[in-house]
Amino acid sequence: MSRETVMSYINVFAVLKNMEELVRVDSVSEQLIKSRNIAIQFTVHKGPKAVLAFRNGEVMLTRGGGKADIKLYFFSPEHFNRMMDGKANPVPYKGLTKISFLTGTFMKLAERLEYYLRPDEEKLKDRDYFRANTEMTAYAAFFALSEIGNHDEKALHSSHAIPDGTILVKVVNGPAVTVIKEKGSLRTVKGEPDSPRCILSFSSLESAHLVLNGKLDTYTALATGRMAMRGFIPMIENMNPILDQVAEYLQ
Amino acid sequence: MIEAKEDTKLNTYKKSQELFQRAVKVIPTGIPGHLGPVQSQFIPTSDFPFYAEKAEGSYFWDLDGNKFIDYMCAYGPNVLGYNNPVVDEAAFAQFKKGNCMALPGKVQVEFAELLVDTIDGADWAMFMKNGGDATSFAVMAARAATGRKKLVRIKGGYHGVAPWTQVDGHAGVVKEDVSNNLFMEWNDAEAFERLIREFPGQIAGLIATPYDHRIFTDNALPKPGYWQKIRQLCTDNGIVLIIDDVRCGFRLDMGGSAKYFGFEPDLACYCKALANGYNISSVVGKESLRDAASKVFYTGSYWSSAVPMAAGIACINELKRIDGPRLMIEKGEKLTEGLKKAAEANGIDLVISGVPSMFYMRIANDNSLMMHQEFCAECAKRGVFFVSHHNHFINCSLSDEDIAKTLEVAEEAFRIVKKNNPDKCN
């Protein structure tokens, strides 16, 4: 699968997926969608398909097609990725009368997402921003990890070598995601499982921030106790090369 | 919260941790490689020492003065006991005469003669420094002898850290490094036959350990007839049979682990138990591969150093004198039987596998190894050094008192694991 195709999966299932979190942590975004009830389907030719629904002040991304008010078509993964970079427009084939949501509210949400995912030192001094940035970066990274592990040719070697089970990735006393290896593929969900087979933990939100923003490498973090692991380590050992690729894709 | 007996003093590691903080500033990961905390042997890292101050017999002491009964034995090299006087005396005597010189010492020939006399089927010996040097040399010799490219390996088998031994996708490894590797499952001679059919006239060698002692997995001995079948297939198809005896060598049989399992390889690689901690490795081979071994250009600055060779001669002779492999197997049996009983008494299912002189163990009550990691950590805090996912090593100096002390610590550690995991224990 081409890099552009893998990137289109990441853009849908890791970047757009983060809108779910955005409206929870950002009051501006919360207000933007407060009274909106609308669903958008993204269909990428030879690429991902998903529905992003805005209902009752919440956002939910679901895989595959479904009931949608606006349906957008993209000729290729490249076309979709260019749209995500603000350099191309989608082809709407349903919901033309509601397209203003796309050019108005949706674009503003995208700007808020970028605000949180592209930190600078000044913004990071705000504790709430710091927390939101770290959590959303973590979600983007570990949701991207599953997409890369399932679609990138190089990462497939590593993802196939991950034994079946659940890897809990968490910040001590903070947010958590679970990477599930099952039936030959990877899946990321938010939250903690009852009995993880393996645990990768960050000692604090600061540690997670340093690692996820490329300010501290994982080996040094493990060496200095900012990260720790326990359980069935081959799961993490084979996940780590994919995690390295996450940084390459999300740069 | 884990409780200790009132009279138990638990180890702390302030000095180790302080030194490690200095180390991470000047050494990538602080302690690179298999001895480092990043390699996940120490879980949690706060319960284990990072640096050793000194060693003697079956023990080492860390920087904080904590004493450990050591079941890793420097990951194998400690076979007679740390600072064995016989080996050290031979090494120091050679040191006074000369070590790294412009020419090899007489001991190079004497050591090669000793290995040829000791190891079944060996007609010649060559020397290197590490196990990985030996396995890489053996693979090159197999290719030189056959003019073929492909190498058959056992899935999950470890043969060092050279690029060909690693996995595409891991740091610094490219597809071309591993493109000639073919894989089969351990103990599956039929799979080898299939590979021979699929790649006719292309397979230079098969490299494998004498039994399956990979990490994170119950170790598995060869099925009856397995090695004999593999030997025959190699002979019939002009494939060089390479035994990586780096880890097992001289802990199963002085004649080599292949002798223990009843077959003869074409090339065999040795390292860990060769010189009781002095840095040397070796490849021994059959006459038919002498030419190929001669042609392969493979050397290093310290490969002809005389001190490790003098140490090696003394080590092998001493192992022969005391029948080291039998001794270590018996000690391993005594220890592992005791560990199983102590575990069972606490409702814990301790699975022991492999040859007792280098046993592998895991607590099987959960499939995550977390209980096992907890057990190893509790033992470390009480002065018994087990690590959580590698096979362990017995050395000849291990005493009955050491085993008794180990079992006492293990009993307490199992009790704590049971208390912390009541729903998982029987």
Domain span at B314:
85-322
Determine the distance in angstroms separating the CA of A34 from the nearest CA of chain B, rounded to an integer.
44
- Going along chain A from its start, the domains and CATH numbers come out as 3-117 (3.30.1050.10), 121-250 (3.30.1050.10)
Query: Minimal CA–CA distance to B17: which of B53, B38, B48, B44?
Result: B48
Whether residue B233 sits in one domain with residue B148: yes
What are B87's two structure tokens? 């080996």
> Of the residues B276, B301, B322, which one is the last residue of a structural domain?
B322
Determine the distance in angstroms separating the CA of A11 from the nearest CA of chain B, rounded to an integer.
23
Whether residue B291 sits in one domain with residue B364: no
DSSP A168-234: EEEETTS-EEEEEEETTEEEEEES--SS-SEEEEESSHHHHHHHHTTSS-HHHHHHTTSEEEEE-TH
Determine the distance in angstroms separating the CA of A177 from the nearest CA of chain B, rounded to an integer.
18
Integer Cα distance of B40 and A222 in angstroms: 9
What is the structure's pLDDT at B98? 97
The CATH number for B265's domain is 3.40.640.10
Which of A158, A198, A232 has the CB atom closest to B169's CB atom? A158
- In the predicted model, residues of chain B with pLDDT beneath 70 are 1-7
- Across A27-64, b (16+ Cβ under 10 Å) vs e yields eebeebbeeeebbbbbbbeebbebbbbbeeeebebeee
Q: Could you write out the three-class secondary structure of chain B?
A: CCCCCCCCCCCCCHHHHHHHHHHHHHCCCCCCHHHCHHHCCCCCHHHCCCCEEEEEECEEEECCCCEEEECCHHHCCCCCCECCHHHHHHHHHHHHHCCCCCCCCHHHHHHHHHHHHHCCCCCEEEEECCHHHHHHHHHHHHHHHHCCCEEEEECCCCCCCCHHHCCCCCCCCCHHHHCCEEEECCCCHHHHHHHHHHCCCCEEEEEECCCECCCCCCCECCCCCHHHHHHHHHHHHCCEEEEECCCCCCCCCCCCHHHHCCCCCCEEEECHHHCCCCCCEEEEECHHHHHHHHHCCCCCCCCCCHHHHHHHHHHHHHHHHHCHHHHHHHHHHHHHHHHHHHHHCCCCCEEEECCHHHCEEEECCCCCCHHHHHHHHHHHHCCEECCCCCCCCCCCCCCHHHHHHHHHHHHHHHHHHHHHCHHHCC
The pLDDT tens digits for A143-191 are 999 999 999 998 998 999 999 999 999 999 888 999 999 999 999 999 9
Whether residue B197 sits in one domain with residue B122: yes
For residue B40, which residues of chain A lie inside 8 Å, CB to CB? 229, 233, 236-237
Q: Please tell me what DSSP assigns to residue A53.
A: E
Chain B interface with A: residues with Cβ < 8 Å: 20-21, 24, 28-31, 36-38, 40, 43-46, 167-171, 216, 366-370, 373, 389
Residue A244, pLDDT above cutoff 90: no
The answer to whether position B270 is within a domain reads yes
The answer to whether position B2 is within a domain reads no
Which of B30, B46, B367 has the CB atom closest to A197's CB atom? B367
- Between chain A and chain B, the number of residue pairs with CB atoms below 8 A apart is 67
Stated as kind and residue range, the H or E segment containing A6 is helix A3-10
Determine the distance in angstroms separating the CA of B368 from the nearest CA of chain A, rounded to an integer.
5
Residue B188 dihedral angles phi and psi, to the nearest 5°: -115, 80
Say whether A232 and B368 touch across the interface (CB within 8 A).
Answer: yes
The CATH number for B37's domain is 3.90.1150.10
Q: Do residues B389 and B40 touch, judged by C-beta distance below 8 A?
A: yes
Whether residue B229 sits in one domain with residue B122: yes
The answer to whether position B1 is within a domain reads no
For residue B167, which residues of chain A lie inside 8 Å, CB to CB? 157-158, 161
Cα→Cα distances A122→A119, A127, A129, A133, Å: 8, 11, 10, 13
For residue B45, which residues of chain A lie inside 8 Å, CB to CB? 225, 228
CA dihedral B133, B135, B140, B141 (to 10 degrees): 110
Whether residue B390 sits in one domain with residue B294: no
ipTM here: 0.86
| Residue in chain A nearest B50 by alpha carbon | A223
What is the structure's pLDDT at B421? 95
Integer Cα distance of B171 and B173 in angstroms: 6
Say whether A219 and B38 touch across the interface (CB within 8 A).
Answer: yes
Say whether B24 and A223 touch across the interface (CB within 8 A).
Answer: yes
Whether residue B237 sits in one domain with residue B115: yes
For residue B367, which residues of chain A lie inside 8 Å, CB to CB? 165, 197, 232
Which amino acid does the sequence have at A245? Q
What are B201's two structure tokens? 């006239």
What is the structure's pLDDT at B5? 58
| Residue in chain B nearest A216 by alpha carbon | B29
Cα→Cα distances A222→A11, A86, A125, B78, Å: 29, 38, 25, 28
Cα→Cα distances B7→B4, B299, B385, B412, Å: 8, 54, 20, 12
Give the residue carrying structure tokens 């349903």: A94
Per the model's pLDDT, the better-predicted residue between B196 and A36 turns out to be: B196
What are B174's two structure tokens? 């490219």
Say whether B216 and A222 touch across the interface (CB within 8 A).
Answer: no
The answer to whether position B46 is within a domain reads yes
> Of the residues B306, B322, B338, which one is the last residue of a structural domain?
B322
Integer Cα distance of A208 and A192 in angstroms: 17
Whether residue B343 sits in one domain with residue B289: no
The answer to whether position B293 is within a domain reads yes
For residue A178, which residues of chain B lie inside 8 Å, CB to CB? none
Whether residue B42 sits in one domain with residue B91: no
Integer Cα distance of B376 and A56 in angstroms: 51
The answer to whether position B73 is within a domain reads no
Which of B40, B167, B366 has the CB atom closest to A233's CB atom? B40
The pLDDT tens digits for A104-130 are 888 899 999 999 998 888 999 999 999
The answer to whether position B377 is within a domain reads yes
Total structural domains in chain B? Answer: 2
What is the structure's pLDDT at A91? 81
Say whether B216 and A161 touch across the interface (CB within 8 A).
Answer: no
What are A66's two structure tokens? 């479904």
> Of the residues B305, B322, B339, which one is the last residue of a structural domain?
B322
What is the structure's pLDDT at B212? 98
Query: Minimal CA–CA distance to B394: which of B166, B73, B137?
Result: B73
Whether residue B342 sits in one domain with residue B301: no
Distant-in-sequence, close-in-space partners of B6: CB < 8 Å, separation ≥ 6: none
Which of A161, A224, A228 has the CB atom closest to B44's CB atom? A228
The answer to whether position B387 is within a domain reads yes
Say whether B21 and A219 touch across the interface (CB within 8 A).
Answer: no
Whether residue B104 sits in one domain with residue B32: no
What is the structure's pLDDT at B4? 52
CB atoms within 10 A of CB B321: 9
The pLDDT tens digits for A37-79 are 999 999 999 999 999 999 988 999 999 988 999 999 999 999 9
Say whether A231 and B373 touch across the interface (CB within 8 A).
Answer: yes
Whether residue B263 sits in one domain with residue B222: yes
What is the structure's pLDDT at B1? 44
Whether residue B108 sits in one domain with residue B243: yes
For residue B36, which residues of chain A lie inside 8 Å, CB to CB? 223
